[in-house]
Each structure stands twice: as structure tokens, then as C-alpha cells.
Structure 1
Amino acid sequence: MSTFRFGQHVIKASAVFLQTELSFALVNRKPVVPGRILQLSL
């Protein structure tokens, strides 16, 4: 998979650092807390 969808946003696969069958994780570009990541369910 070369892209992921998060609502109306398209996420490039190069931004994803972890992927499972049911989720993927990427670095939050505008975190409330420094170093926070996002893990999203597919």
C-alpha cells in the first residue's frame, strides 16, 4: 500500500513507521505534546 487514508487526508507510506493488520502509526506533524505519535485503526 503506497498511501493511507485518515478521514479526508491522504498519508504517504513514507510517513508511516509502523503498520499492523488493523492499524498504522505516524509522527504527528503538529503535536500538542512534543514527541507524540498517532496510531490509527484501519
Structure 2
Amino acid sequence: MFPDANGVCNLQVLLDGNDAYWATSRTEGDEPGRWSWPPRV
């Protein structure tokens, strides 16, 4: 996954079993409906 210059990318979420969800054109940020990198532990 590599965001474009505006922080927009398409994401594939793997669900239980063989199901998957495509979250298309998501922007980077902390608000609901946006994506962010998980914190390093």
C-alpha cells in the first residue's frame, strides 16, 4: 500500500473466512473513515 501525493489509497481489509472488504479512495488521518499507520510498539 502506497498512498498518492494527497495521502489517498485503496485498502483491502481481510475479514473472517474468505471475505474481504475494499475500502477505496481513503484519505490519511485520525478521523473515522480515514486510515493511519499503526503505532510502533
Normalised by the length of structure 1, the TM-score is: 0.29
Question: Where is the strand percentage greater, Structure 1 or Structure 2?
Answer: 1
Q: Which has the higher helix share?
A: 1
Structure number with bigger Rg: 2
